Amino acid sequence: MIDHHCHILPGLDDGAQSLEESLAMARILAGAGFTEVYCTPHCMRGAYDNSPGAVKGAVRELQEALDRAGIALKLHPGMEYY
């Protein structure tokens, strides 16, 4: 299964606030049968000023943490624009 809308990236919006919380979310997703996740933090001027570059970097960092933890999820960058 693929999750096409997930606020798993830590500290970018009102989703996961820490790496530990992101890893816990990832474990739940993998345990439920998900294999891919599109990371879609909010992009809202003045509230969540996320750029594509920042999201790509956060995805890269979280993917490395998932790999180190042995959590079998493939992350993809995305955004939820307002």
Q: Helix 52-69 to helix 19-31 angle, to the nearest 10 degrees?
A: 70
Share above pLDDT 70 across residues of the chain, in percent, rounded to a whole number: 100
Model pTM score:
0.94
Specify the DSSP element, H or E, that contains 19: helix 19-31
Strand order in the sheet with 36-39: 2-6, 36-39, 74-77
Q: What are 30-66's pLDDT values in tens digits? A: 999 999 999 999 998 889 999 999 999 999 999 999 9
Look-up: residue for tokens 């992009």?
Answer: 43
